């Protein structure tokens, strides 16, 4: 048995979620990710500048484009707004990539290339 609100799982015999106070169901409804299992994600913005990352996020949010903000190391850690995270990639569904890239083109042009560190 599952809570349709918080997705907690219960043993047989329980009928109400202890936290949400709603009736339990036998199976959870499908999530958005279940409905789009073959979704292709592309990177539309890549930066280490926290100000530019914030502006890019705001632009995508204002346009209603869903995105992921992840560390560029590929570890999959979702960007939480910490300006000291380092390099961050903003990724969108492939179907929205052209629109997102166009919206972010002015911001991407202001990004200065990373300089190589001097030898130690």
pLDDT, tens only, 62-120: 999 998 888 744 444 444 455 455 788 889 999 999 999 999 998 876 665 545 445 54
117: in domain: no
46: in domain: yes
pLDDT, tens only, 22-73: 898 888 776 655 555 567 889 999 888 888 988 999 999 999 999 888 874 4
Task: Quote the pLDDT of residue 109.
Answer: 66
pTM: 0.55
Report the number of distinct structural domains present in the chain.
Answer: 2
Q: Are 101 and 47 in the same domain?
A: yes
Burial 54-93 (b: 16+ CB within 10 A, else e): ebbbebbeeeebebebbeeeeeeeebeeeeebeebbbbbb
Token pair for 31: 């999530």
36: in domain: no
83: in domain: yes
Torsion on CA atoms 82, 85, 88, 93, rounded to nearest 10 = -50
């Amino acid at each position: 048995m599952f809570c349709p609100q918080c997705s907690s799982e219960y043993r047989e015999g329980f009928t109400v979620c202890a936290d949400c106070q709603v009736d339990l169901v036998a199976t959870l409804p499908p999530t958005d990710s279940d409905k789009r299992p073959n979704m292709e994600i592309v990177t539309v913005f890549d930066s280490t500048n926290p100000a530019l990352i914030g502006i890019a996020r705001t632009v995508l949010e204002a346009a209603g484009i869903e995105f992921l903000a992840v560390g560029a190391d590929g570890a999959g850690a979702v960007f939480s707004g910490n300006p000291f995270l380092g390099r961050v990639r903003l990724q969108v569904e492939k179907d929205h990539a052209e629109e997102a890239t166009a919206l972010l083109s002015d911001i991407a042009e202001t990004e200065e290339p990373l300089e190589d560190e001097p030898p130690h």
